[in-house]
Amino acid sequence: MSKINNFLEKLIFNNRGFVIGIFGLITIGLLYSASQLKLDAGFEKNIPLKHPYMQTYMKHREDFGGANNILVSVCDRSGNIFNTNFFDTLKNVHDQLFFINGVDRSLVVSLFAPSTRFTEIVEGGFAGGPVIPADFNSTSQDALDTVAANIEKAKIVGRQVSDDYSCAMVTAQLLDIDPETGEALDTLALAGELEDQLRGQYENDKISIHVIGFAKMIGDVANGAKDVLLFFAIAIVITAFMVYFFCKSGMLTFLPLLCSIIAVVWQLGLLTVLGFGLDPMSILVPFLVFAIGVSHGVQMINAVGKNVVAGMSVLDAAKDAFRVLLIPGGIALLSDTVGFMTLLVIDIGIIRELAITASMGVAVIIFTNLILLPVLMSYVNLGDKYKQKFSGKENRSNAFWNAIASCSKKTTAISIVLITALLFALGWMQSQKMKIGDLHAGAPALHEYSRYNQDTFLITDRYEITVDYISVIVETAPESCTSYEVMSAIDDFQWRMENVQGVQSTVSLASVAKVVNAGYNEGNIKWQTLPRNTQTLVQAISRVPTSSGLLNGDCSVMPVILFMADHKAETIERVVDAVKEYRTEFENENLSFKLASGPVGVMAATNEAVSAAQDPMMIYVFGAVILLCLLSFRSLRSTLSVVIPLYVVSVLAQALMTILEIGLTVSTLPVIALGVGIGVDYGIYILSTMSGRLKQGASVESAYLDALKERGSAVLFTGITLAVGVSTWVFSALKFQMDMGILLTFMFVVNMLGAIVVLPAIARLLWFNRSEACDIDNGHNG
């Protein structure tokens, strides 16, 4: 190892100008490509496409539309829609939405859609027509009255018109492929158009516009995510102040920050080179990379500074720091990289992107902060003034380190381990209450007070519809909707599901056919039943168009749509379990009830994928960390000393999630892995010094004291700096950034404490015979 180190040291430090030149060129190149980086959001990235539910979803998406829809509620602030201005606005909104690029024009529905029709039963049979007649004149009160009557006959109150007649709805399905460019739809551009062309144009003191749907949500997230730049700036400033406070040198402050920013530039540049965009949900990753970079940079300036104070020349000090830190720093960053890479096993596009983004970002830090930084530092002139600042402080800090080092005294160590075990037990019990999925109504990425969630609440409040629905797809033989047996099975299944707690209402071709059959019998509800007679059944079904979304062209596929009270994980699980239980009663070789489509179907699949990924992810992350520790320390005891505190902290973080009511979702799942990846750094730095001393036969306490003197301040400082930087996210406009900020702050601080309090205590117990006496035997002075 040291041979390679020496070789690399010579190679790099003998060609300092060349190295800097290469880094400069790469940075300029990647800066250019980073400037091309785009925010990139897509619906499908957020779903586990290989999950069986999603296979069903993809298979039938053509016929029934996807889960990617947009709901625009146009509301009259006076509380009554029947006026000229409202209907004119509604028509404009309908037309405007129709022409927004990416909207499936065949599926734009509102009062003004030709498919919105009413039927009524008269003596001679049926009578009907469009709800808004072709000759509709919005200035005529009679015309408005007619529309009001037609709305009631069409039975669309609660769906297309709000229960209190204060709003009307325009809904649309979105395409996945941009029809103009043939490429994937730019969801964020579409969200911008919705905001500008609908709300911007038509919201005024008489009309309010409320837009919900995945595209709008992710657009709002992207807008909120732009605040990250501000947090980034704040974090840089805070970090700069703290680094300066730590090293008392402007130049030493500037260089680690510069190198960390270079790392971010490289990362963003590489993303573009590899053809990725930055998803709003993973916009925090560059920030994380910066923070990790700073933490390793601080170790570097710490080592260089200490060498200089000890009397070395700056060049030699930099060379020495490079040689000493390359291995622990490299191992730490490598374990971060591998830890993040393990997220690739999760079959959800956005988590894979996060894995690539984060692992790449951490990998480049190896170059920028372990190679470029010492090379740059070797040019810095640290005069006597600098040395004077630190002289005399050694004693004071030694007293501090001596106090901390008592953690590795036998009795203290035992009590620390016992307390840790107790915390672990409590945390474990609490973490078992971890809920999968979104725990709150509305979009979990956004705050409850956000416009998007307020719009969601308004729409779910004023209408009977909800965006929380799951479709069970009935697959059967062609023309099966004319079979009484099949329709009757669907009808019975639907009724069973309607009785499941959490299901608010249901609809299927069977339930609509029953109502139509009553219609054919003078509207007599005593005939609201499925006719056994095939011709009569055909007659009833023929009035239901395929555009209803209740059957496909040859009626071999018919969804049963279940509208849910909410999308909490336990509700979804209960409904999905009920589907699985009841369908066995009705299924045969020609008839199957497949899960699932609709927004909640997607959530069900995502929840299952996330839940299934949780354990493997932890196993892989810890597996990677353990393997790398074993390789670098070649000691099981050292590895255990690093990994045990890390595991306790990750369990405590899960407990914190349950206390804060943060569910395990696509966006929170990676946090634990990220926290473990970063948390391991502290332990590795401390133990790399300790294990050398221990191998020489020193006592745990003296080895630990040495490690503290050498690395302690940097570890302490890094933990606090990272935590302060990340804690600013609590003020983010995005709920998920806030959640992540809290969790990461917790993990940074507690992992740091774990490394300097629990690690030595465990080490003390593992090297139980290494009492102070050893030092005397070995003649080592601690």
Partner 1 sequence: MLREQRQPFFYKWVSMTQRKRLLASFLIPLSFAVGAETFQAPLVEKSLLLDADTDQYHVVVGERGHVVISELDSQDFTQLSLPLAVTLTAVDVLGDHIWVAGHDATIMHSPDRGATWEIQMNEPDMERPFLDILFFNDTHGIAVGAYGLFYRTRDGGQSWNAEQHATLLNPIDIEYLEEIRAEDESFYLEELNSILPHINRIVYANGKVYAAGETGLLAVSENLGESWGRDELDYFGSFFDFQPVDDSRNVAIGLRGAVYTQVDKGDWQRVNSCTTSTLNSVKLLDNGQLLVVGNNGAIIHIDVDTLFSGTVNNCSTNGMRITQLESKSAIATVFKNNNSYTAVTSDGLLPLTSK
Work out whether 80 is an interface residue with partner 1 (CB under 8 A): no
Q: Where are the beta strands (DSSP E) in 319-374?
A: none
Of residues 696 through 735, those in contact with partner 1 by CB under 8 A are none
The one among 385, 411, 526, 589 contacting partner 1 by CB under 8 A: 526
Stretch of 63-71, 119-127, 245-253, 445-453 contacting partner 1, by CB under 8 A = 119-127
Work out whether 479 is an interface residue with partner 1 (CB under 8 A): no
Work out whether 482 is an interface residue with partner 1 (CB under 8 A): no
Stretch of 205-213, 419-427, 498-506, 589-597 contacting partner 1, by CB under 8 A = 498-506
514 or 711, CB closer to partner 1?
Answer: 514
Work out whether 522 is an interface residue with partner 1 (CB under 8 A): yes
Closest contact distance (angstroms) between CB of 523 and partner 1 is: 5
Place of tokens 């030699």: 316
25 or 127, CB closer to partner 1?
Answer: 127
104 or 152, CB closer to partner 1?
Answer: 152
Work out whether 127 is an interface residue with partner 1 (CB under 8 A): no
Stretch of 364-372, 384-392, 493-501, 718-726 contacting partner 1, by CB under 8 A = 493-501
Of residues 213 through 272, those in contact with partner 1 by CB under 8 A are none
Cα gap 65→697, rounded to integer Å: 70
Stretch of 107-115, 191-199, 375-383, 527-535 contacting partner 1, by CB under 8 A = 527-535
Work out whether 502 is an interface residue with partner 1 (CB under 8 A): no
Reported as half-sphere exposure (CB side, CA atoms, 13 A), residue 33 has a value of 18
Closest contact distance (angstroms) between CB of 455 and partner 1 is: 26
Count other C-beta atoms under 10 Å from residue 126's C-beta: 13
Instruction: Indicate the Cα dihedral angle 179, 185, 188, 189, nearest 10°.
Output: -20
Q: Is 662 helix (H, G, I), strand (E, B) or coil?
A: coil
454 or 539, CB closer to partner 1?
Answer: 539
Closest contact distance (angstroms) between CB of 61 and partner 1 is: 31
Work out whether 495 is an interface residue with partner 1 (CB under 8 A): yes
Work out whether 310 is an interface residue with partner 1 (CB under 8 A): no
Count other C-beta atoms under 10 Å from residue 19's C-beta: 17
Closest contact distance (angstroms) between CB of 563 and partner 1 is: 14
* The two three-digit tokens of residue 638, written as one number: 């050292």
Q: Is 18 exposed, middle or buried, given 0-12, 13-18 or 19+ CB atoms closer than 10 A?
A: exposed
Cα gap 166→82, rounded to integer Å: 9
Q: Is residue 606 within 8 Å of 666, Cβ to Cβ?
A: yes
Closest contact distance (angstroms) between CB of 190 and partner 1 is: 37
Q: Is residue 314 within 8 Å of 377, Cβ to Cβ?
A: yes
* The two three-digit tokens of residue 631, written as one number: 């390789």
Closest contact distance (angstroms) between CB of 596 and partner 1 is: 22
Distance of CA 240 to the CA centre of its chain: 29
Beta-bridge mates of residue 436: 664
Going by C-alpha positions, the residue among 470, 748, 407, 767 that lies closest to residue 597 is: 470
Cα gap 285→277, rounded to integer Å: 13
Closest contact distance (angstroms) between CB of 120 and partner 1 is: 8
DSSP characters for 371-405? IIHHHHHTT----HHHHHHHTTHHHHHHHHHHHHH
The one among 381, 395, 533, 584 contacting partner 1 by CB under 8 A: 533
* The two three-digit tokens of residue 531, written as one number: 């006719």
Work out whether 128 is an interface residue with partner 1 (CB under 8 A): no
* The two three-digit tokens of residue 245, written as one number: 């406070």
Cα gap 387→305, rounded to integer Å: 9
* The two three-digit tokens of residue 753, written as one number: 């404490």
Stretch of 117-125, 206-214, 288-296, 448-456 contacting partner 1, by CB under 8 A = 117-125
282 or 517, CB closer to partner 1?
Answer: 517
531 or 670, CB closer to partner 1?
Answer: 531
Cα gap 431→436, rounded to integer Å: 12
Cα gap 159→167, rounded to integer Å: 10
Work out whether 577 is an interface residue with partner 1 (CB under 8 A): no
Q: Is residue 115 within 8 Å of 83, Cβ to Cβ?
A: no
Work out whether 122 is an interface residue with partner 1 (CB under 8 A): yes
Work out whether 504 is an interface residue with partner 1 (CB under 8 A): no
Closest contact distance (angstroms) between CB of 522 and partner 1 is: 5
Work out whether 525 is an interface residue with partner 1 (CB under 8 A): yes
Of residues 148 through 167, those in contact with partner 1 by CB under 8 A are 152
Cα gap 744→750, rounded to integer Å: 10
Closest contact distance (angstroms) between CB of 527 and partner 1 is: 7
Work out whether 428 is an interface residue with partner 1 (CB under 8 A): no
Going by C-alpha positions, the residue among 206, 92, 82 that lies closest to residue 139 is: 82
The one among 62, 123, 180, 384 contacting partner 1 by CB under 8 A: 123
Q: Is residue 618 within 8 Å of 650, Cβ to Cβ?
A: yes
Residue 769 DSSP code:
T
Stretch of 188-196, 300-308, 382-390, 523-531 contacting partner 1, by CB under 8 A = 523-531
Cα gap 529→595, rounded to integer Å: 26
Q: Is 76 exposed, middle or buried, given 0-12, 13-18 or 19+ CB atoms closer than 10 A?
A: buried
Closest contact distance (angstroms) between CB of 149 and partner 1 is: 10
Work out whether 528 is an interface residue with partner 1 (CB under 8 A): yes
2 or 501, CB closer to partner 1?
Answer: 501
423 or 512, CB closer to partner 1?
Answer: 512
Q: How many residues bind partner 1 (CB under 8 A)?
A: 22
Work out whether 531 is an interface residue with partner 1 (CB under 8 A): yes
121 or 738, CB closer to partner 1?
Answer: 121
Reported as half-sphere exposure (CB side, CA atoms, 13 A), residue 501 has a value of 5
Work out whether 498 is an interface residue with partner 1 (CB under 8 A): yes
Work out whether 121 is an interface residue with partner 1 (CB under 8 A): yes
Stretch of 529-537, 556-564, 660-668, 752-760 contacting partner 1, by CB under 8 A = 529-537
Q: Is 234 helix (H, G, I), strand (E, B) or coil?
A: helix
Cα gap 683→632, rounded to integer Å: 13
Place of tokens 């158009």: 193
519 or 712, CB closer to partner 1?
Answer: 519
Closest contact distance (angstroms) between CB of 113 and partner 1 is: 23
Work out whether 523 is an interface residue with partner 1 (CB under 8 A): yes
Place of tokens 């391991």: 680
Cα gap 503→466, rounded to integer Å: 11
The one among 94, 496, 568, 693 contacting partner 1 by CB under 8 A: 496
Query: Which residues of this chain interact with partner 1, rule CB under 8 A?
Result: 120-123, 152, 492, 495-496, 498-499, 501, 522-529, 531-533
